[in-house]
């Protein structure tokens, strides 16, 4: 059987292993050094123990080869990949009726507004933080055919605050919004908009490996759910404010009652055994089990 070769089109910039990576046409360039040397989740998914520039490049190439990342023939697979991933949590809560829409980001499309839980998972399953992307017509067509709306089809613009406005215009009232740390200024904009309209926004802070002090301040001010990624800063400053934590290798923190409700609702559908216990101090950390 002939295997179809997947070739990236356009320009796409994103983070991988804490390194900034550029895909331009058929070439992968690692623009900065990785911020981490080891991540257990990355090893489990991609098999790389030592994270350097070459590992970041190989990971991007695997995404292209296996998923069609940034390609015309992108694969949209709804399978669950990360036990406590944001797309997994959001899609389950959409199916349970707690959320009626999600504003996420997709390579080849930019900001996406979707009311199809399966599409939300298929977009986000193995995605990393996208800084900018170019429109890919087949990707946009797939999204539109499966209950999604692209914020700007001509530019594939990424603007999560504008996405929240568009979702409200479409009649959605209970929305989830994923916001990467490098776009954390969107959090305050979404909260201001939320107060003006009859909209409840659940903000998921994602892709936080490279979060800085300013990002953390904005996250603490407005996020409901925070993925620690491989950030020590998130663990040290956000972790103590959490009212619920999922996992300890790559912990996910709920900072609000809404965030806690969504995480607990997700756990109701989680297929594996769970241990729950109280603790006087957050975050709960197991030494030697996290990223380096």
How confident is the prediction along the chain (292 residues), in pLDDT tens digits per residue?
A: 344 677 888 999 999 988 999 999 789 999 999 988 888 778 788 877 888 999 999 999 999 998 899 999 899 999 888 889 999 999 999 999 999 999 999 999 999 999 999 999 999 988 889 999 999 999 999 999 999 999 999 999 999 999 999 999 999 999 999 999 999 999 999 999 998 888 999 999 999 999 999 999 999 999 999 999 999 999 999 999 999 999 988 999 999 999 999 999 999 998 888 888 888 888 988 776 677 6
Range of the domain at 232: 86-268
The token pair that represents 154 in the structure block: 């001509």
Asked whether residue 23 is domain-assigned, the answer is yes
Same domain for 96 and 127, yes or no, is yes
Asked whether residue 160 is domain-assigned, the answer is yes
Asked whether residue 278 is domain-assigned, the answer is no
CA distances to 20, 67, 210 from 59, in Å: 12, 11, 18
Same domain for 29 and 160, yes or no, is no
Asked whether residue 273 is domain-assigned, the answer is no
| Contact criterion met (CB below 8 Å) for 181 and 215 | yes
Q: How many domains does the chain have?
A: 2
Cis amide bond preceding 115, omega within 30: no
246/269 Cα distance (integer angstroms) = 14
27/44 Cα distance (integer angstroms) = 26
The token pair that represents 237 in the structure block: 């400053």
Same domain for 59 and 155, yes or no, is no
Asked whether residue 21 is domain-assigned, the answer is yes
Task: Tell if the pTM clears 0.85, that is, is over it.
Answer: yes
Asked whether residue 3 is domain-assigned, the answer is no
Asked whether residue 204 is domain-assigned, the answer is yes
23/10 Cα distance (integer angstroms) = 8
């Amino acid at each position: 059987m002939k295997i179809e070769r997947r070739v990236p089109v356009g320009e796409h910039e994103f983070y991988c292993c804490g390194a900034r990576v550029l895909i331009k046409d058929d070439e992968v360039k690692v623009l900065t050094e990785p911020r981490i040397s080891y991540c257990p989740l990355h090893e489990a998914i991609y098999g790389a123990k030592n994270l350097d520039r070459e590992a970041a490049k190989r990971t991007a190439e695997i995404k292209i080869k296996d998923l069609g990342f940034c390609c015309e023939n992108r694969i949209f697979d709804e399978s669950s990949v990360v036990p406590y991933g944001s797309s997994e949590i959001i899609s389950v809560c959409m199916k349970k009726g707690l959320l009626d829409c999600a504003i996420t980001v997709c390579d080849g499309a930019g900001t996406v507004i979707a009311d199809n839980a399966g599409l939300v998972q298929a977009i986000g399953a193995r995605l990393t933080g996208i800084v900018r992307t170019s429109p890919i017509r087949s990707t946009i067509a797939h999204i539109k055919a499966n209950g999604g709306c692209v914020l700007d089809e001509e530019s594939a613009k990424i603007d999560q605050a504008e996405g929240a406005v568009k979702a409200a215009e479409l009649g959605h009232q209970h929305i989830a919004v994923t916001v990467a740390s490098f776009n954390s200024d969107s959090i305050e904009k979404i909260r201001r908009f939320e107060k003006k309209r009859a909209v409840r926004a659940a903000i998921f802070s994602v892709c936080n490996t490279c979060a800085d002090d300013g990002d953390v301040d904005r996250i603490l001010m407005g996020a409901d759910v925070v993925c620690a990624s491989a950030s020590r800063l998130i663990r040290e400053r956000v972790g103590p404010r959490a009212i619920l934590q999922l996992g300890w290798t790559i912990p996910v923190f709920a900072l609000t009652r809404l965030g806690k409700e969504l995480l607990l609702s997700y756990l109701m559908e989680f297929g594996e055994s769970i241990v729950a216990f109280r603790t006087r101090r957050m975050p709960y950390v197991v030494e030697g089990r996290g990223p380096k």
